[in-house]
Structure 1
Amino acid sequence: MSLGDDNGYGNDSGRTDDGYSTIGGTRQTRTRLPDGEGGDSYGTPRRPARKSRSLVMMVGVVVLLIAAIAFANMGGGGGNGDDGGGSGGGGSKPESSSTAATGTKPVTGKNGTIASGFAHDEQGAQSAASNYAVALGSVGMFKKESRHEIIDTIYTTEAAAKLRGPQDAAYSTDFLGKLGLDPAGNAPQGSTFVSRTIPVGTKLEAFSRDTAKVSVWYTGLIGMSGEGSTDPVRTSWKTWTVQLSWTSDGWKAVSDTQKDGPAPVPGDVAASSSDEISKAVEEYGGFTYAR
């Protein structure tokens, strides 16, 4: 709303807040006569000066300040009581516990290259699942020796024994060749093989004292960065769900499943060159994740 509208006049009226002003007013001149000499030029008695105007304004300011303090003390008018029956309730606020920091420090232990020492609670189970997802999506999985170490660290003894054979068959020479790797899982000289898992969030599907089911939503990077690569580094979005069991060595995976998505709409950032990707992989290390 314009200034003219605020004062109850049109924009072109030229009026001001002061009704007696000659600026934009009627430009009529009033003659003030002494009290008792007959009032103004129209014959009506002159009203006495309002000496209480300043006092009224001061009282109004004080009332407003008291009201503001009371409003603040009630938490902005919301409080924990009802809302006075207003129509704009809006429902309850979303819980912040899903993203809020827990205050518990991340683990400092290591079992090989994988974090260890996760707490025997819900947070510990989610932290373990996140770090296990990172390990299972790492470059180490493409080499037999390091793959066996990762599996033995993450899974229970029984589950690991059942997984080694099928995993070795999955990472076959043919499969590695399609990724540009040699039979031992090495990248060609001058090229960098990229495989990383970056957890976006975790969801506790179920929990009891010694078991937990956790889903990890993550984005992944995989591909060959190098001149002449036919399999450039690309992104993926997946959800990995793992069943965990508490053992004498902490949380261990018993079984797991994986599915695609949820995947956001791709952004409009231009793809980087192979050199930039290779440099980034060398310069930026991974994280130890803690819920």
Structure 2
Amino acid sequence: MSYGGDYDDDARAGIPSQTRTRLPEDPALPSRRPPASPRRSLMTIVGVVVLLIAAIVMANRADDRGGSSDNATDTPDGQAQPTAPTGEQPVDGSTNGIPSGFARTEQGAQSAAANYAVALVSAEILQPSQRPQLVQQVFTPERASEMHDRMAEVYSEEFLETLGLGPEGQAAEGMTYISRTVPIGTEIVSYSETTAEIDVWCTGLFGTAGEASTRPVTSDWFTMTLELRWLEGDWKVHSFTQRPGPAPVPGDLRASTADEIAEAIEEFGGFTYAR
């Protein structure tokens, strides 16, 4: 390959083309590179300054567009609502182990829905001795009695037996029944000062941990839609539904043993969920 100049003349004369090779410079010897001209150095400095100013301007514009807002759900249609912590205290207490005293705001409604989803798909809701307190805390007074009767019918002794549980919702000796729900995110379907409809996307662990278990612990993905009412200074559930998914592609992690799952459930506690 020819590179112009003398090399082109050599090629036309039939002389094989040559390639110039720059040998590495010895740091002990004076550099063979020509010194940079003052004009070139000045242009380099000016270019760096211009780029720095442009970067500062772009950063300021990004801050103006993404600055904090008093309404955390004020986002364009079709975009996910922000889930970063706001610094607001979600609740000021709890009743029967369930957070209570949620704010009368969109964030407060989402916090209530997330926490109520955890309670409604818990191991305690299957236990006749625990269910009345949970239902009384979660539902509106006008629906509490109805929901308690419906759950008592659905979570019958026959149903509990299919889960490997006794009539009081207890696991057999040497077994640990697990039903733990983890909210992934919430979305406001509708909201007013007295009513709210919230979707809660969840994952969870369900099953019985134990060497002889016929229903090993598995994971699940589902979405709960909770219709809330504002009553006596707090959000309460008026009704709820559940549908499957959305579910991600399963990972390739090794499944833990039944003992490892049971030990993890004992070691790791749950959370109070809030926006």
Contact between 2:90 and 2:108, CA under 8 Å: does it hold in 1?
no
Task: Look up the match of 2:55.
Answer: 72
Which residue number corresponds to residue 289 of structure 1?
273
Q: In 1, Cα distance between the equivalents of 2:51 and 2:60?
A: 10
Query: Which deviations, in whole Å up to 9, do the C-alpha atoms of 1:137-159 show, x marking residues without a partner?
Result: 11111111211111110000111
1:165 is displaced (CA, Å) by 1.1
User: 1:170-220 CA deviation, whole Å, 9 max, x = no partner?
Assistant: 011111001111111111111101011110110010001111100001012
Verify: 1:233 aligned to 2:239, yes or no.
no
Partner of 1:196: 180
Q: 1:76, CA displacement in angstroms? A: 6.0
> Which moved further from structure 2: 96-105 or 178-187?
96-105
Q: Secondary structure at the match of 2:256?
A: coil
More helix by share: 2
Partner of 1:55: 38
**Structure index of larger Rg:** 1
Output the aligned Cα RMSD: 2.5
The residue aligned with 2:67 is none
Q: Report the counterpart of residue 161 of structure 1 in structure 2.
A: 145
Given candidates 102, 122, 128, the residue that maps to 1:144 is 128
Moved more, 106-115 or 186-195: 106-115
CA offsets 1:21-79 (integer angstroms, 9 cap, x no match)? xxxxxxxxxxxxxxxxxxxxxxxxxxxxx99x632123212321331232123216977
Q: Is 1:102–2:70 an aligned residue pair?
A: no
Match of 2:169 among 165, 170, 185: 185
The answer as to whether partners of 1:71 and 1:77 remain within 8 angstroms in 2 is no
- Contact kept? 2:178, 2:206, Cα under 8 Å: yes
Distance 1:77-1:221 versus aligned 2 partners, 3 A rule: closer
Q: Is the CA contact 2:196–2:229 (under 8 Å) kept in the aligned structure 1?
A: yes
Q: Normalization by structure 2: what TM-score? A: 0.79
Query: Are 2:176 and 1:170 equivalent residues in the alignment?
Result: no
Q: 1:14 aligns with which of 14, 20, 30?
A: 20
Partner letter of residue 158 of structure 1?
E
Separation (CA, whole Å) in 2 of partners of 1:63 and 1:76: 20
Structure 1: where are the runs of 5+ without partners?
5-11, 18-49, 81-91
What is the aligned residue count? 236
What is the CA distance between 1:249 and its match in structure 2?
4.1
User: TM-score with structure 1 length normalisation?
Assistant: 0.75
